[in-house]
Amino acid sequence: MTQKKVLIFVFFTAFLILGIVSMQRAMPPAKEARIYKALHVYSPYEMEKRVGGLEILDKRDNTKEKPSSKEVLFRFDEVEGQWGKEHFKIDGNEISISDEKNQTVGKVLIETEKERAFVKRFYGI
């Protein structure tokens, strides 16, 4: 191979690696699927599509938050985590979910230690 072909290959490889690394940094940490889906049902927040990207809708008062496309996933995790910190309580192997009036509206069973660690890390409880 000539030196010119080697340089092209090196630049292409470096560009590919930098692209993959930057995509990984832009994604929020992975979630435990079963427990997250079970708890997300009670969350008052949801993602809504708009022409310019995504927005966060608060179903309690229909307010919309429009963070930049770069920040929307991180911000969604942040508002869900803050809400969960106030409304979730771990009792043994159960998570009790309360509403705005501090009345229990549901319970979710924690099945593994990974799920327990995720709940403590993500929701801060």
pLDDT tens digits, one per residue of 88-119: 999 889 999 998 888 999 999 999 999 999 99
Task: Measure the CA–CA gap between 99 and 117, rounded to whole angstroms.
Answer: 23
Report how far apart, in Å, the C-alpha atoms of 23 and of each of 3, 17, 26, 70, 71 are. Answer: 30, 10, 5, 11, 13
Q: Are residues 12 and 64 in the same domain?
A: no
68: DSSP letter: -
Q: Are residues 54 and 6 in the same domain?
A: no
pLDDT tens digits, one per residue of 49-86: 988 789 999 999 999 999 988 888 899 999 999 999 99
Q: Are residues 24 and 35 in the same domain?
A: no
Q: Are residues 41 and 81 in the same domain?
A: yes
Sign, CA torsion 91/95/100/104: negative
pTM: 0.78
Domains contained in the chain, number: 2
Q: Are residues 40 and 21 in the same domain?
A: no
> For residue 13, what are the β-bridge partners?
none
Range of the domain at 10: 1-28
Q: Are residues 95 and 42 in the same domain?
A: yes
Q: Are residues 10 and 70 in the same domain?
A: no
| Segment holding 50, helix H or strand E | strand 45-50
Task: Measure the CA–CA gap between 43 and 80, rounded to whole angstroms.
Answer: 7
